[in-house]
Amino acid sequence: MRRILPFGLAMIFAGAAHAQTQVQDNVKIPLDVVQAGFKKAECSIELKDEEREVTGALGGGLVLVEIYCWRAAYQAGSIFFIVDPNAPEKARLAQFPSWAGRGKRSAPDLSLTSPSYDAAKKIVSMAHKGRGVGDCGSTAEWRWNGKDFVLKAAWNKDKCDGRPFEEGKRWQVYPPKR
């Protein structure tokens, strides 16, 4: 009986800890906050008022939440919110600086095509096909600096010529090749 009691208590506490983890996997961002982000990013899919799944931790108590924004024939895009789970009403739409050329300024990207997030490296990536076969388009990576996402690398291939578009120095536009 003495062996069973500690084991049973350990299982109860483990279950409670797991339940707490499950609650933290979702966050309820107020609908008006999400609607404002949808409008600013010009999203086109139907928006639902629901809990959002946390994409990953950013550190400092913040999490990243991805919300689908648009869909096309062979790709889709999302917007991201930076959220403090204890203050979801203060969630802010993530902005991703884009490369417009040396010395040129451009508006940040608000929605990303086919995005992914590497929580260990704190890097968001995207890949946008210029057409279905993927022989042109753009890809980019942004790193979280504790406050915002900063452009880490970008590749672009404008010409849809049937040749594969792959990351590498040939198509790299940022950082500029030397």
DSSP 135-151: SSEEEEEEEE-SSSEEE
pTM of the model: 0.82
Q: How far from the centroid of its chain's Cα atoms is residue 144's Cα?
A: 11
pLDDT tens-digit series, residues 72-118: 988 999 999 999 999 999 999 999 999 876 667 677 999 999 999 99
pLDDT tens-digit series, residues 32-55: 999 999 999 999 999 988 889 999
Token pair recorded at residue 97: 């600086």
Say how far apart CA 1 and CA 98 lie, in whole Å. 64
